[in-house]
Chain A
Amino acid sequence: GAGVSQTPSNKVTEKGKYVELRCDPISGHTALYWYRQSLGQGPEFLIYFQGTGAADDSGLPNDRFFAVRPEGSVSTLKIQRTERGDSAVYLCASSLTAGVTEAFFGQGTRLTVV
């Protein structure tokens, strides 16, 4: 597709369950970023991939959060033992190269933990 695609668009899960959120970046973009946006707040950085490797995961809140990008394209954000505080919109972005080039964002996955 032409833009960054995120699936599902909405996800409701029970507390304690495991969830996976998927991001399809723009074709050819080597850099991929995950952000989390809580209601009424700006997005907060979680993790950044350059190719297949996580170049910066300093924003992951704890070890329940993990992300992979095994083939350097699609990325999956994984959350174990979900908590109600994990409820937020999870945004994915990609850019052509690493560095401060323009990042294109997807529409996000709204995660609700009940």
Chain B
Amino acid sequence: AQKVTQAQTEISVVEKEDVTLDCVYETRDTTYYLFWYKQPPSGELVFLIRRNSFDEQNEISGRYSWNFQKSTSSFNFTITASQVVDSAVYFCALSEAKGGSEKLVFGKGTKLTVNP
């Protein structure tokens, strides 16, 4: 069965600090997709990134970067120079690629608080 573990329940940092959110996944599929979503207090999940299992290149988008390592089944998310607006719950998710369904399996989320 597929499983996503986000061991950090809550993280609190001071503005401008770098912070890394951990994500470890389990799957028997050889083809799969990994996602990160942001959920601000408004409740709407905001898509951040999708990565397929065949692409282990790290990705950077502005202050955000992602480190995908199949050897350790991890897909960690780093925010550089954090800002108060980054405060939210962040979810890592895994999808089965077969059947054409984007049936996401989510972790329990990490609540990030960035203090001024």
Contacts and interface: CB of A to CB of B under 8 A. Distances in A.
A15 to B, nearest CB: 24
B19 interface: no
B101 interface: yes
Interface stretch (A19-27, A65-73, A74-82, A104-112): A104-112
Interface residues of A, number: 31
A98 to B, nearest CB: 4
Interface residues of B, number: 26
A36 to B, nearest CB: 11
Given A101-B102, A108-B44, 6 more contacts: A41-B109, A48-B101, A59-B103, A89-B43, A91-B45, A95-B102
Interface of A: 3, 31, 33, 35, 40-45, 48, 50, 55-56, 58-59, 89, 91, 93, 95, 98-108
